Amino acid sequence: MKIKKGDKVIVISGADKGTVGEVTKVLPDKDQVVVEGVNVRKKALKPTQANPDGGIVEQEMPIHVSNVMAYDAKAKKASKIGYKDVKGKKTRVYKKTGTVIK
């Protein structure tokens, strides 16, 4: 998987299509990522000693990595990720603009 935690991505299909967010968690064994503000579901929590009221909370659920693409903020476009040798180090770059991903 070329998408890493902390990358800015844009959702390219599904109900949240066009949403830009940051990857908060990567699940490589399932090929899924959790993106900030995307695929939000409501979940009921039972009352516990730590949370005596319980209640309903909103939780971000994972989506498949094929439904997101890396987002180049400078070009304001989605781009594929490639690898380039810079000063003897393998670095990730946006294929459309060639800029290095931080």
At 38-74, the pLDDT tens digits run 999 999 999 999 989 999 999 999 999 999 999 999 9
> Hey, where are the domains in the chain?
8-73
Q: What is the CATH number of domain 8-73?
A: 2.30.30.30
User: Is pLDDT of 102 > 90?
Assistant: no
Total-model pTM:
0.85
Q: Is the pLDDT of residue 91 over 90?
A: yes
The answer for residues whose C-beta is within 8 angstroms of residue 63's C-beta and 6 or more apart is 11, 14, 16, 32, 33, 34, 35, 38, 39
Please give the Cα distance from 23 to 35 (Å, whole number). Answer: 4
User: What is the rounded average pLDDT of the residues 78-82?
Assistant: 96
Quick one: which of 76, 43, 71, 37 has its CA closest to 57?
A: 43
Please report the pLDDT score of residue 16 as a whole number: 95
